[in-house]
A and B are shown apart, each in its own frame.
Chain A
Amino acid sequence: MSAVTILGIAGSIIILFALFEMMRRHRLREKYALIWALVALAIITVAAFPSLLIRTSEAIGLEVPANLLFFAASMVIMVLTLQHSSELGRLEERTRTLAEEIALLRLEIDQHRHPGGLLRPSEPRDEHPRELRE
């Protein structure tokens, strides 16, 4: 077994173990774990059968098989990061909607509690203003 094979297999086993542990502790949701599991399995496959990589790079005309590996790896990482950005954007949009809703509901509750009472300058606005705003 070559050093590359050992490194590849060890790396992907570490990833798979980490995935399993994180899912077991409810730290990772399956929908994100799946893609990482696929990445780890792909690394194992390539590490165990390096001829796959060599033959594929010959087929598409690459002289150094490692280049194919680097290209594939960077593409996978780019796609994953992009997916995270889009998820983040969706979460931000939802947070924004929730914040707006909360503000409107709080106003409504206020108006029910103090009908017509708009002149309440001394009333505390909320209990945890600083924490909420950080």
Chain B
Amino acid sequence: MSGDRVLIIVPAWNEQDAIAGTIAEIRECVPDADLLVIDDGSRDFTVDRARAAGATVCPLPFNLGVGGAMRTGYRYALRHGYDVAVQIDADGQHDPRYLAALLAGLDHADVVIGARFATPDDPYKVRGPRRWAMVLLATVLSRLAHTRLTDVTSGFRVSNRRAIAVFATHYPAEYLGDTVESLVIAARAGCTITQVPVTMRARMAGTASHSPFKAAVYLCRAVVALILALVRDWPAQLEDVAPGDDPAVVPAPAPGPEAEPTHEQEVRG
């Protein structure tokens, strides 16, 4: 993998306290990689602190959500001809020391996920409906990708050129679209997906809720998001991205005539 140009994309939204530490840590672990912070319309000093820490910063004009930030990052990677794009959270939850293992995984896959729950002694514990949702998502995605995936909602991810081309065009901004749906799209576009076990650190700002009601809402939304991801007509647009793909993984073109022109322009953009 040495000699590949690697871009590390860090989507950041109001992370002024964590961003500098995260950047320094990434720099330490992978000094050769370029670092791009996508500021998702932060209202604090995220942009200034990231610049001060030495990262290239791309500030979005307003908040688009992780999906928008990541698609911007993948477009940058595509346009600047990077071989590998790394997606890593700004809040310090993802430990960049695992990056070497993730990058090595690209030898036999197009997308490598840094996954929790892959080993029995993983300290990251989730219970109740939230756990069921994660298991359900992981099971369905595993069948779709023909490999064992334990954590499909992980935002810690490494992609090669082929996956970058897919994500640069299709990275949904909807709920769970940045994680689950984008994996569904990658799998349906013919990308191979694999995972590397990682241990994630606790979030600095504890937004992961423990209320059972919120967990149940999460389960419902995850099911809806998953079903939508599975039945949506992506492939008509994906044909443009990967023309040499196995036609078996590219179902019939979408019937809707209205939505198509914008996507074609996006692919060529």
Q: Which positions in A face B, CB cutoff 8 Å?
A: 90, 93-94, 96-97, 99-104, 106-107, 111, 118-121, 123, 125-126, 132-133
Contact = CB atoms under 8 A, between A and B. Distances in A.
Given A101-B269, A133-B63, 11 more contacts: A90-B258, A97-B262, A99-B60, A104-B58, A118-B54, A119-B52, A120-B51, A121-B52, A125-B47, A132-B62, A133-B41
A62 to B, nearest CB: 35
Contacts of B71: 100
B68 interface: yes
Interface string B53-96: 01111111111100010011001100100000000000000000
A107 B61 contact: no
A97 B68 CA distance: 8
B191 to A, nearest CB: 21
Nearest to B49: A121
Contacts of A104: 58, 72, 75-76, 79
A39 B194 CA distance: 55
Contact of B262 (A94, A99, A125, A126): A94
A106 B43 CA distance: 18
A107 B259 contact: no
Contacts of A101: 269
Contacts of B54: 118-119
A31 to B, nearest CB: 12
A100 B56 contact: no
A126 B41 contact: no
Nearest to A122: B48
A104 B72 CA distance: 7
Counting chain B CB atoms within 10 Å of each CB, the highest count among A102, A111, A121 belongs to A121
Given A96-B64, A118-B51, A133-B41, A103 B259 contact: no
B75 A107 contact: no
Contacts of B51: 118-121, 123
Given A96-B68, A100-B64, A132-B62, A118 B43 contact: no
Contacts of A103: 38, 58-61, 72
B41 to A, nearest CB: 6
What are the 3 closest A-B residue pairs judged by CB atoms, nearest first? A121-B52, A100-B72, A107-B58
16 contacts: A90-B259, A96-B173, A99-B64, A99-B68, A100-B64, A100-B71, A100-B75, A103-B38, A104-B58, A104-B76, A107-B56, A118-B51, A121-B52, A125-B47, A125-B48, A125-B59
Contacts of A120: 51
Contacts of A119: 51-52, 54
A49 B30 CA distance: 79
B266 interface: yes
A118 B54 CA distance: 6
B76 A107 contact: yes
A102 B47 contact: no
A132 B76 contact: no
A97 B43 CA distance: 21
A105 to B, nearest CB: 10
Nearest to B74: A100
Nearest to A94: B262
